[in-house]
């Protein structure tokens, strides 16, 4: 009996040693994708869905918003350090991306905006918030899908299936918006982040440029805007939910125009349907405008 116990212990130890490498191998086989901020997270979450062996992490918290003036934290870098892929919007929003690529030279990146025209319709101004246009958002999804397949061919079939299903939903959404916004609405906007809504929501939008650091406009500039609103009989003033409303209120008080708050999908819930749901809420608001 005494001889049996040591033998059993040895067998247990050998068995444990045999199991450990397999567990470690499984951990290494997990493919980790890190996204820069919420709009990119919504894309990857839908493409990955519940694909086994793939994990997603968002670098900035879901409630951070736009990253124009964002400062990287130690927690951010720790997330990226363990990533196989880093998905970013590009077009200058992630102004810290060069630092990340210098620090982690081996990390593979996917730039969702690659090859997409970033000019606001009918204007010669660049605007990086291209995901707000459903058509451009669909192109971003295709870019991310193709990038993931390039670097992770083992899950190519799942990525393709999930991306196509998501794109179909977005095309249905775009058709619904088109049917419900046949009458063009004239607006003044104090937020460049929602400028691309004009493409899908049939909005004749004049976007007033404001600095990201300071939302206050000069008295002269406000006077010009008030004059424009009155002369063009504009009844709608738009801001994004993260935009300060002091400029909008100043113009509204002088013109009688009404302020409407739209959502540029800069923040949201950890929900695959979030983008679609937010756009449907935007649609309700636009339908209520004059």
- Tens digits of residue pLDDT in 224-267: 999 999 999 999 999 999 888 999 999 999 999 999 999 999 99
Three-state secondary structure readout of 8-53 = HHHHHHHHHHHHHHHHHHHHHHCEEEEECCHHHHHHHHHHHCCCCC
Model confidence pLDDT, tens digit, residues 152-182: 999 999 999 999 999 999 999 999 999 999 9
Judging by DSSP bridges, how do beta strands 31-35 and 54-58 pair with one another? parallel
CATH node for 30-177: 3.40.50.1980
Closest CA to 228 of 183, 288, 186, 285: 186
Q: How high is the mean pLDDT of the chain?
A: 87
Q: What is the mean pLDDT of the segment spanning 28-42?
A: 90
pLDDT at res. 155: 97
Q: What is the mean pLDDT of the segment spanning 45-70?
A: 88
Q: What percent of the chain has pLDDT over 90?
A: 69
Q: What is the mean pLDDT of the segment spanning 265-289?
A: 97
Higher pLDDT, 75 or 211: 75
Q: Among 11-20, 51-60, 192-201, where is mean pLDDT lowest?
A: 11-20
CA pair distance 190, 172, nearest whole angstrom? 29
Q: Is the pLDDT of residue 50 over 60?
A: yes
Name the residue with tokens 């991310």: 144
Query: What does the domain layout of the chain look like in residue ranges?
Result: 30-177, 182-287
- On the question of a common fold for 30-177 and 182-287, the answer reads yes
pLDDT at res. 150: 97
Q: Is the pLDDT of residue 26 over 50?
A: no
Q: What percent of the chain has pLDDT over 70?
A: 86
Name the residue with tokens 């982690």: 104
Q: What is the mean pLDDT of the segment spanning 273-278?
A: 98
Model confidence pLDDT, tens digit, residues 61-91: 777 777 877 888 899 889 999 899 999 999 9
CATH node for 182-287: 3.40.50.1980
């Amino acid at each position: 009996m005494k001889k049996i116990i040591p033998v059993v212990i040895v067998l247990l130890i050998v068995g444990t040693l045999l199991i450990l490498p397999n567990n470690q191998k499984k951990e290494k086989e997990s493919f980790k994708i890190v996204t820069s901020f919420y709009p990119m997270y919504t894309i990857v979450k839908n493409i990955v869905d519940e694909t086994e062996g793939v994990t997603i992490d968002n670098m900035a918290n879901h409630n951070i918003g736009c990253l124009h003036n964002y400062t990287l934290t130690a927690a951010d870098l720790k997330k990226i350090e363990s990533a196989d892929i880093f998905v970013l919007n590009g077009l200058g929003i992630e102004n810290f991306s060069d630092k990340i690529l210098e620090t982690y030279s081996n990390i593979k990146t996917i730039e969702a905006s690659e090859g997409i025209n970033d000019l606001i319709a009918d204007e010669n101004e660049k605007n990086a918030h291209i995901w707000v246009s459903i058509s451009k958002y669909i192109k971003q999804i295709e870019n991310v899908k193709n990038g993931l397949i390039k670097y992770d061919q083992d899950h190519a079939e799942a990525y393709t299936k999930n991306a196509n299903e998501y794109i179909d939903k977005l095309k249905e959404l775009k058709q619904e918006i088109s049917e419900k916004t046949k009458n063009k609405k004239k607006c003044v906007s104090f937020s460049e982040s929602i400028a691309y809504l004009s493409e899908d929501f049939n909005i004749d939008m004049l976007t007033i440029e404001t600095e990201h650091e300071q939302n206050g406009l000069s008295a002269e500039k406000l006077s010009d805007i008030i004059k424009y609103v009155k002369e063009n009989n504009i009844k709608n003033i738009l801001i994004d939910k993260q935009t300060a409303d002091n400029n909008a209120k100043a113009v509204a008080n002088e013109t009688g125009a009404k302020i409407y708050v739209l959502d540029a999908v800069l923040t949201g819930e950890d929900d695959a349907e979030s983008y679609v749901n937010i756009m449907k809420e935007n649609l309700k608001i636009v339908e209520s405008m004059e």
